[in-house]
Structure 1
Amino acid sequence: MLTFIGLGLYDERSVTVEGREALRAADRVFAEFYTSKLVGAGVDELAAHHGVEVEVRAREGVERDPEPILAAAAEGDVAFCTAGDTMISTTHTDLRLRAEERGIETRVIHGVTAQSAASSLTGLQNYRFGKATTLPFPYAHGGDDVPESVIETIEANRERGLHSVVYLDIKVGTGPSGPDPDHEEYMTADVAAGLLAEGWRDELAVVVARAGSPDPVVVADRLGALADREFGDPLHLLVIPGDLHHVEADALAGFAGAPADLVGE
């Protein structure tokens, strides 16, 4: 049995009760934290809280060499854990398909996603979000501006009146000069807002910082204004609103302090 467990958004306690029970009952526990990570807890805290040994796999250890995970799951109960919801990444879908092809039973225990949390915290309705995009560090795409693909995604959503989630780049194990096992870097919302204000337009945006933590931050303003503020520890993301329903406009004003002239009030 191979059980995919979403750990939620923040720390060792963010997992669902069902996920916690499956995690603690597993014979072996694998985890990856390159697609996202729990910023409120490290691997040691996760392992100690649940009384398990956690075997962390690098990207290559999941994508190119999944055999240790699959072999263990063929012989016993294995938990494969990630931050957020475990099936957001196509890498994990591929791993599940490989297991099914070998006759290994699989199941999925979901966790809260950053996108669902962003909808809940901002008051923007989940069904009115379009395609999400990721804003990379400039050095990661070989330029010094916003990739055209990011702008195209935002513009396409806005043409349909839809909101856009902009995930912000995480670099673990690689930096500006190439592979670096000690490198951890998180794009912050102020940096992202500055890039978009310059490379796109100075429009209304919403910062969501530390969703799932005891002290989430939600702030709405023009990108240029957000670029001049600090939002504390990661993880951060941006939401670029599309057309606003009057309840959504009220929510951005009430929950995120959006200026009245930006939400039509």
Structure 2
Amino acid sequence: MLTFVGLGLWDERSVTVEGRDAVRAADRVFAEFYTSKLAGTTVADLEEHHDVDVEVRAREGVERDPGPVLDAAESGDAVFLTAGDTMIATTHVDLRLRAHERGIETSIVHGTTAAAAAASLTGLQNYRFGKATTLPFPYAHGGDDVPASVLETVDANRERGLHTLCFLDIKVGHERAETDEHMTASTAASLLTEAGRGDDLGAVVARAGSPDPVVVADRLTALAEREVGDPLHLLVLPGGLHHIERDALVELADAPPALADERLA
């Protein structure tokens, strides 16, 4: 049996009760934190809280060499952990399909996601979000600017009056980075400003799921100069605003009223 468990957004306590029970009952527990991570905890804290040993797998150990995970699931109960939800953004459908090819039963225990938190914390309506995108570090895509695909996604959503959720790059063990790197919202806003989008309205969400999340909205030029503390960060680029969404950004995220009025649909 292979059970995929989403750990939620912040620390060792963010997992659901169902997920907690699955972790504690497993024969072996695997995890990956290269696509996202729990910024409020460590692997050691996870192990202590759940009284289990967690075997952290690198990207290659999941995508190219899933054998140890599948072998464990074939001979007993294995759990595979990720931050957020295991099938939303941190997608592991391929691993699940490989398990099915070997006749291994699978199940999913969902965790809350960054996408849900972004809508909830900003007050923007979930059904008014369009296609999401990821803003990479320039060195990670071989350029020195924002990829055209990112700008095209934002523009296509905006033409339809939809909001764009930008996931910000995480680099774990990259040869160009001395330590793990997490793109900040100010860096993302700076990159978009350099791409000619500085007058656009943006909404930053920092440390979603923590006891002290930060939500702030302003022009991207202003957000490029604003620090919001420790990771993880998200950036939302609103499309057309419903009047309740406008009020939410002003009251909950300190958006300049005149700027929010510009985006009223």
Question: 2:185 maps to what in 1?
Answer: 189
**Residue 165 of structure 1: SS of its match in structure 2?**
strand
Partner residue of 1:149? 149
Do residues 134 (structure 1) and 112 (structure 2) align? no
2 CA distance for matches of 1:18 and 1:199? 45
Query: C-alpha root-mean-square deviation of aligned residues, in Å?
Result: 1.2
Name the residue aligned to 2:228: 231
Q: How far apart are 1:145 and its partner, in Å?
A: 1.0
Aligned to 2:68: 68
Shift of 1:89: 4.6
Name whichever structure is richer in strand by fraction: 1
Q: Per-residue CA shift, 1:127-177, capped at 9, x if unaligned?
A: 11001111111111122111111100000000000000011111110142x
Q: How far apart in 2 are the matches of 1:101 and 1:54?
A: 25
**Structure 1 residues 167, 91: closer, same or farther in 2, change over 3 A?**
closer
Regions of 4+ moved over 4 Å: none
CA distance in 1, matches of 2:196, 2:80: 39
Q: Say which SS state the counterpart of residue 231 (structure 1) adopts.
A: coil
Q: Report the Cα offset of residue 198 of structure 1.
A: 1.6
Secondary structure in 2 matching 1:264? helix
Aligned length: 261
Q: Is the 8 A contact 2:35 2:90 kept in 1?
A: no
Q: Distance in 2 between matches of 1:110 and 1:31?
A: 15
Give the match's secondary structure for 1:174. Answer: coil
Q: Counterparts of 2:155 and 2:59 in 1: how far apart (Å)?
A: 31
Change beyond 3 A, Cα 1:199–1:246? same
- What is the distance in 1 between the residues matched to 2:59 and 2:247? 42
Measure, in 2, the Cα distance between the counterparts of 1:247 and 1:102.
Answer: 50
CA contact (8 A) 2:135 2:169 kept: yes
1:244 aligned onto 2:238: no
**Correspondence 1:255 to 2:249:** no
* Contact 2:218–2:255 (Cα < 8 Å) also in 1: yes
**Match of residue 199, structure 1, among 192, 195, 200:** 195
Gaps of 5+ in 1: none
**C-alpha distance in structure 1 between counterparts of 2:102 and 2:18, whole Å:** 26
Q: What is the Cα deviation at residue 88 of structure 1?
A: 2.0
- Which AA in structure 2 matches 1:52? V
Over 3 Å counting, the alpha-carbon distance change for 1:216 and 1:90 in structure 2 is closer
User: Are 2:3 and 2:79, in contact at CA under 8 Å, matched by a contact in 1?
Assistant: yes
